[in-house]
Amino acid sequence: MTFEGTAVAMVTPFTVNDELDEEGLRKNINFLIENGVDGLLVAGTTGESATITYEEQKRLMDILVDEVDGRVSTIAGAGSNSSREALNLVKYAENSGADYALVITPYYNKPQAHGLVEHYKVINDSTDIPMILYNVPSRTGTDMDVETILEIAKLDNVVAIKEANPDLSKTSTLQKGIYDNNLDDKFVILSGNDDLTVPMMSIGAKGVISVVGNVDPFRTSKMVHSFLDGDVETATKLHFELYPLMKVLFCESNPVPSKFALNTMEIPAGHVRLPLFNLKEESEEKVKSVLKELNLI
């Protein structure tokens, strides 16, 4: 079961008492679905996975599955730098009823390529939930090479990769390998960088797991679906229309600008947890300016 289209890597809204804002999360889920997204991810990087507890992570999965109620695909962020912990989270995602588990490459410990294969094999052999690999070397310190990705892609439950390495040459090489190994019916590339979604789709990617979709889900989804439907002109137009937002939401560490944007739009987001902190004043003005240009406020 591969995924195509726009999945939103959701922010995790917090209350003023630093608890999960469960009501706000449910409101955001419905807002995103009403604006045409194809899938929703909780407990990813944008969801502040580094500073939520395991119990909070599991609660996010439960709320997502319950509120979505089959309307779009549900993706549970379930990775860890420990294979044992990752397996525990993936099993929980499976038992919660999520459609997919997003499993990041283990961070900090810099596993060897064959260690990565074993990491995903252990999870694959112990669960049945479809897995989306997540390669984001700027955060993990590990960049899965094409050969390793293709080997892991042959595992039964591995159906996609969220590729956040911005090297389009690597994406081309990976897509060629997918074709050459007859994996294109069971394994797809999803963009992990909003500003590269259309370029990556031009060489075979099938969609995006998006940050920008939190703030402008309608245009993000329309951009991706236009490309999938063969309307490259409209997709390209929307790419450039959204491009300032794609850039400004990364003017400081993700998800700080996104949460500021959502709060400005009166959409539940709340604060970010330390060591992340509020935007600088000049960054706030940049974000507001782009929101106004796009008629989002």
Residues annotated catalytic, as ranges = 134, 162
Of 213, 254, 248, nearest to 29 by C-alpha is 213
Determine phi and psi for 141, rounding to 5 degrees: 85, 0
Q: Which residues are registered as beta bridge partners of 101?
A: 76, 131
**4 in Cβ contact with 228 (< 8 Å):** yes
Cα 71 to Cα 36: distance, rounded to the nearest angstrom: 11
Cα 228 to Cα 277: distance, rounded to the nearest angstrom: 38
DSSP 240: H
Determine phi and psi for 14, rounding to 5 degrees: -120, 150
Beta-strand ranges (E) seen in the chain are 5-9, 39-42, 73-77, 100-104, 131-135, 158-163, 188-191, 207-210
Cα 14 to Cα 254: distance, rounded to the nearest angstrom: 16
Neighbours of 282 (CB within 10 A): 8
Residue 96 is encoded by which pair of tokens? 């919660």
- Known binder of ligand: residue 75? no
- Known binder of ligand: residue 46? yes
Binding site for pyruvate: residue ranges? 46, 209
